[in-house]
Amino acid sequence: MANILLITTQNLTTNPRLQKEFLKLRQDHAVQVIAFSDLGWSDTLETERGAKEQWVSLVRYIPASRASGWPFVYATMISKLAGLMDRVGLAGIRMKAWASNKRAVLLWRSLRKYRPKDFDLVLVHTLGALYPAWRWLQGTPVPWVFDVEDFHPGEAMPEDGGFEKKRRITLMRELLPGASHVHFASPLIGEAVKGLPVSLKSSSVLNNCFSRHEFVPPDKELTGRIKLVWFSQNIDGGRGLEEVIKAIAPLQDEVELHLIGNLVQDFEREWIAPNRKFIHTHLPMPQEKLHRSLMNYDVGLAMELSTADENRNLCLTNKIFAYLQSGLYILATDTQAQKRFMDEHARHGVVCGQSVEALSSAMAELVKDKTRIRSGKDERYKLADDVCWENECGKLSELIERWTNQARHA
């Protein structure tokens, strides 16, 4: 049994990849987590899930809000000062990390209370955690893994003359070579990171799929309008929903759209309220409940926009794997990553363009194929059985076994 530490600048609810690792690894190892609290809508779900899964005693939460008082003020001041230093060319790697994410300052203060030698392995999630973990583990023999869930230099970010993008590239180029292993959330993210360029000791793709036990086989026949579903942490603009709503509106007697997540008020006022005839919204729900609920729908929408930012073109999100594993028919926009994914799973859905016109044509085809889509659900569910976290996590288990054996013989 290994002693393992997981680190994130989010919490387990907003960092599903870390949550999946935690729940799997705790079955065979002693696992602790350093995470953040006071993150808004997710706090209630975090508390409920933590009590149910009995993880509260295993997670140390760092307050992230103004309510924490001086630590928040201190981190904010340091981050702003570091940003100014970076703009005038006086920031080293530490200041670049502080400027990029003020939670990195808070995390570093917390990590200093721990001893690296108390752990056999450290798993690091989110870019804000990269520098604190690297610095804390520097000079120790403890192996550590960094999880590249997104292509961080290609994410949407504030307009600041390109300083933040340059910071992110520098952080990844200089710090990732220190990691014992790097995981990528999609093949194309891996290609983009290696193309920065950056030299890695070892790397592999760790797909965003889930435990097969979180999904239930279809056990009822759906009737009425064809039912589309989309979920995310927030129901908001800029995610392709505007185009979807426009495309569905002429077919509203044949299609209903279900959106699951925290509904942003401005988006509700502009897009949801005028279209309540065919749109249903649902509050955020725990991951397992969400996955079980997917059996109530026909089609899962993977509406990534390659025009939004470079990362959206390269990523494979949690939702596309959830749709696949639940047996839903998938309608995916034609980002580079999703086209490759759907080519590999051609029986599970189709790809369409990102314009309203392309989506309208695709929606009309879904309506026409409703009977076929519904009748194929059970077959799709069975076909996806091998796409599961149990298989993906085996990659991590192999690394742990290898490093544990090396430590024993050192």
For the stretch 146-194, pLDDT in tens is: 999 999 999 988 888 899 999 999 999 999 999 999 999 999 999 999 9
CA–CA–CA angle 359, 228, 340 (5° rounding): 60
Q: Is the peptide bond prior to 158 cis by the omega test (within 30 degrees of 0)? A: no
Q: What is the mean pLDDT of the chain?
A: 94
Q: Please give the single-letter amino acid code of residue 155.
A: E
Per-residue model confidence as pLDDT tens digits over 67-98: 889 999 999 999 999 999 999 999 999 999 99
Residue 410 has pLDDT above 70, yes or no: no
Rounded Cα–Cα distance for residues 238 and 59 (Å):
33
What pLDDT digit, counting tens, does each position of 254-286 carry?
999 999 999 999 999 999 999 999 999 999 998
Q: Write the single-letter amino acid at 398.
A: E
| 30 pLDDT above the threshold of 70 | yes
Distance CA 326, CA 293 (A): 9
Token pair listed for 124? 């690091």
Q: What pLDDT does residue 358 have?
A: 97
Tens digit of pLDDT for each residue in 107-140? 999 999 999 999 999 999 999 999 999 999 999 9
- Give the count of alpha carbons within 13 A of 55, CB side only: 28
The pLDDT of residue 407: 66
